[in-house]
Amino acid sequence: MVSRPRLILVLGDQLSDDLSALREADKDRDIVVMAEVQVETDYVPHHPRKIAFLFAAMRKHAAHLRDAGWTVRYTLLDDPENTHSIPGELLRAADATGAQEAIGTEPGEFRLIAALEDGPIPVHLFPDDRFLCSHAEFEDWAEGRKELRMEWFYREMRRKTGLLMEDGEPAGGKWNYDKENRKPPPKGLTSPGPLRHEPDAATRDVLTLVRGRFGNRYGTLDGFWFATDRAGALAALDHFIAKSLPSFGDYQDAMVMGQPFLHHAILSVYLNAGLLGWREICEAAEAAHDAGDAPLNAVEGFIRQIIGWREFIRGVYFREGPDYTARNELGASRDLPEFYWSGDTDMACLRECITTTMAEAYAHHIQRLMVTGNFALLAGLDPHQVHEWYLVVYADAYEWVESPNVIGMSQFADGGVVASKPYVSGGNYINRMSDYCKSCTYAVTKKVGENACPFNMLYWDFLDRHRDRFDGNPRMAQMYRTWDRMDADHRKAVLDGAAGVLARLDAGERV
């Protein structure tokens, strides 16, 4: 008697050969199910560049699996029989094949996990072991700690992997070279940027589809250059290691007008979709250091982002649970300003970061944290609206990685689970780390007055209105001492100026 096939669910961010569900499957009997569905494009209105990347990469991965001997049932977005949900496509596949159960690899969003658990056919989910740290291992590490701090977790991951380790000690004698990685940009700083891939016929078909269905959304498809298969992703890795890694450390926090990429890797879009794995990326960087082609500060800083921050953030997401994105510890309630969707603002830093994001579905970590995120926190924007904006606009954004970075690190809405203090600054930080302020309508050197930088006034206003919460934080004590030393009339002028900025935001006026 021939046993019934099982359905093997492969999601759009699981485009890996070494997927736990595939390892558990029988290639001669089971059927891979992949689907382009409206629920996944629309639960937030994702950037069309992200949708196009994922659909093109999914189609190519399905073809790759067929070439490897798998039977693949693939649903196109415009298939008239498409139910436009993942559970619906599993049910339709079950009806067509006689399958009575499905297996999959755990999704990276509680929303989709719940949909599969409540779906019309049983789905057994295996752990996503493409990550370095399992849920259980993170729980064991976190248990009993008063604070969850990435630095201590990162050191454990270094020991576990052996990356940049020498006889049990960190290479060079230090775990962290951050102090060497905060250089402001020198005049004329440029970079090779990421490897750009000309869309092939299959990708052009997807671009046509996405432009027709999602072309009126935030963002543009013009100049689409992402790789859409593993070979292209590996080429992008090689390009970064050879061309940009040597200077990545020095200028990873720098921001330059018209230079959105500088020496950043732009590999997260491939890593988070499964076209690359963490180990091969980190080992390539380590090999460059061992060969003398990249300095230790650059390689350590890069590896820390992957096995330290990325793994830590995932651990927090699954530990904190499905209500995490609703947290609002500071009670922020202001609506997201329209300029986050248009870039139509007189603040040069925000305009540059937002318009670049519209064009590229990308901004690097300092642009996200210290420009768009910093303003949102200072202005008291609703953290859930901020969270959804980040999930919409970035091609590498999935809830497991995006929400702790936004709800926790950027907006302090989790009350300090991720960050030990709010990451806020006035205009001086942005001026030091970028050339944005040189072309701004506002004067970064002005603390109050008609054309004073809004960041300057909002910074002190944020500290003043949340003093009860942060006055006892040792990392913020110096800030409050500085505020208290200011003349009372100056403090009033600062708060009045901040109130004016916020009133213009509330009225929908240009800021």
397-425 pLDDT tens trace: 999 999 999 999 999 999 999 999 999 99
Contacts of range 488-491, beta carbons closer than 8 Å, 24 or more positions apart: 490/447, 490/448, 491/460, 491/464
Closest of 231, 224, 229 to residue 204, by C-alpha: 224
Q: What is the mean pLDDT of the chain?
A: 96
Where does 68-195 show beta strands of DSSP type E?
71-75, 102-105, 123-126, 165-166, 169-170
CA distance 269 to 94: 32
Confidence of residue 193 (pLDDT cuts 50, 70, 90): very high
Q: What is the pTM of this model?
A: 0.95
Q: What are the chain's domains?
A: 7-126 (3.40.50.620), 135-193+244-320 (1.25.40.80), 339-506 (1.10.579.10)
Residue 146 reports pLDDT greater than 90: no
The pLDDT, as a whole number, for residue 1 is 46
64-117 pLDDT tens trace: 999 999 999 999 999 999 999 999 999 999 999 999 999 999 999 999 999 999
CA distance 366 to 260: 11
Give mean pLDDT, residues 354-363. Answer: 97
Contact 476/486 with Cβ under 8 angstroms?
no
Residue with tokens 């693939």: 74
Residue 206 reports pLDDT greater than 80: yes
CA distance 344 to 339: 5
Q: For residue 334, give the DSSP letter.
A: B
